Chain A
């Protein structure tokens, strides 16, 4: 069955970096666009970034553009989010989700906390 498992979250100081990973299984990863979506504690959902199945095209929310980089390794069935220059407002649960238009499958999320 389809599984998405995020990892890499944790506590980081403002200005620091983290790299999130999402391990995919149960489907042909290279056939699907992938998305990162985040949710600050007690808040709503915020779309962060999207990458096409080939990895050739990416999109970002203005709030993370220039600081975050989405990538994928289709040979490893993995999606990544490199997060640099982290700010307090980046504190959230980060979900990876399959799909470009709608997200039928989500991971369980990984918590990123940006705090001194």
Chain B
């Protein structure tokens, strides 16, 4: 199985800060990576697919990059509504696997 790691596991940042989360796959997954946002008690929401494609309707302050084994998710200017947990997920192979998540809150 492909193992996905994320760092950091949690972070605190100020409104307007740039926030960066990294995700690493245990083997080459090309660009087969998604990023989801999950707020407490809610289903995850797709933000980025195919590593760098912004889902329709998602604010442009969210972005993704990377290929192979190393990926980055960025919030260019943190907003109060971005408080959530963020998960990466690979779909290059079965079983699909998720990263453990990064909890983002406001400093």
Contact = CB atoms under 8 A, between A and B. Distances in A.
Interface of A: 35, 44-47, 50, 59-62, 95, 100-104, 106-109
B94 A59 contact: yes
B89 to A, nearest CB: 7
Interface string B38-79: 100001111001100001000000000000000000000000
A107 B43 contact: yes
Contacts, number: 52
A59 to B, nearest CB: 5
B5 to A, nearest CB: 12
Interface residues of B, number: 23
B89 A45 contact: yes
A94 to B, nearest CB: 11
A103 B44 contact: yes
User: What secondary structure prevails in chain B residues at the interface with A?
Assistant: loop
Contacts of B50: 102
A82 to B, nearest CB: 19
5 contacts: A45-B98, A95-B44, A102-B34, A102-B89, A104-B55
B43 A108 contact: yes
Nearest to B98: A45
A9 B30 CA distance: 37
Contact of A47 (B38, B97, B101): B97
Contacts of A50: 94, 96
B102 to A, nearest CB: 10
B26 to A, nearest CB: 16
Contacts of B38: 45
Given A59-B94, A102-B46, 7 more contacts: A44-B99, A45-B36, A46-B98, A60-B95, A62-B1, A102-B89, A107-B43
Contacts of B96: 35, 47, 50
B87 to A, nearest CB: 6
A101 B90 CA distance: 8
Nearest to A107: B43
B95 A45 contact: no
